[in-house]
């Protein structure tokens, strides 16, 4: 069973492989990271770990039993009890319910481990998979129309102050 792990320095090789193997798949629904991302991957990875150590972000990877990364699940721009959720799954790991289960788990971590009360997210209107995951995990559209690299999208919000007994987390 895949495990959600907090991003660590030793994840770098598997994370780079994940990003390279899925680049075209990701670019179909989210903005491409660009060639510089891959050329400067080690420095970027170190910068992410520094942001995490400073408490402004919480980065996670979904790791299979063989150490392969199946997805990224990030809480960024942490401030005043809120954060923005972003996630991406490897093409071969889609349509298995892993993204939904992992976002649910991350909502629990956000509330219980990181002390967050609200999560925000955004998805392009054409990104049906991400919009479905957000809806299944308690995110509701804010009505805010946004642009994601020139594509129309929607903003979402998730209240984490309700505990499991109230249908939260």
CATH number at residue 136: 3.40.630.30
* Token pair listed for 144: 């805010």
Query: Reading across the β-sheet that carries 3-6, which strands appear in turn?
Result: 3-6, 58-63, 69-79, 82-89, 118-124, 151-159, 140-148
Average pLDDT in the 135-153 region?
Answer: 90
pLDDT interval class at 163 (50, 70, 90): low
pLDDT above 70: percentage of residues in the chain: 96
* Pairs from 24-28 (Cβ < 8 Å, separation ≥ 24): 25/90, 25/91, 26/88
| Residue ranges making up the domain that contains 162 | 3-166
Give the residues across from 155 on adjacent strands: 122
pLDDT on residue 64:
96
- pTM of the full predicted structure? 0.92
CA dist list (Å): 52 to 43, 59, 126, 161: 14, 7, 30, 23
pLDDT at residue number 167: 56
Task: Please state the domain count of the chain.
Answer: 1
Q: CA gyration radius for the chain? A: 15
Express each pLDDT in 14-68 by its tens digit.
999 999 999 999 888 777 888 989 999 999 999 999 999 999 999 999 999 999 9
């Amino acid at each position: 069973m895949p495990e959600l792990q907090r991003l660590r320095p030793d994840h770098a090789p598997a994370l780079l492989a994940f990003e390279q193997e899925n680049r075209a798949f990701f670019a179909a629904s989210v903005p491409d990271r660009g060639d510089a991302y891959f050329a400067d991957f080690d420095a970027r990875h170190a910068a992410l770990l520094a942001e995490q150590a400073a408490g402004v972000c919480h980065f996670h990877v979904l790791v299979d039993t063989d150490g392969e990364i199946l997805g990224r699940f990030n809480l960024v721009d942490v401030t005043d009890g809120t954060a923005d959720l972003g996630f991406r799954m490897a093409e071969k790991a889609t349509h298995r319910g892993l993204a939904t289960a992992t976002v649910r788990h991350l909502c629990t971590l956000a509330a219980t481990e990181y002390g967050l009360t609200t999560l925000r997210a955004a998805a392009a209107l054409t990104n049906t998979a991400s919009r479905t995951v957000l809806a299944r995990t308690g995110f509701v559209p804010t009505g805010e129309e946004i642009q994601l690299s020139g594509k129309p999208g929607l903003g979402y919000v998730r209240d984490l102050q309700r505990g499991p007994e109230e249908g939260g987390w």
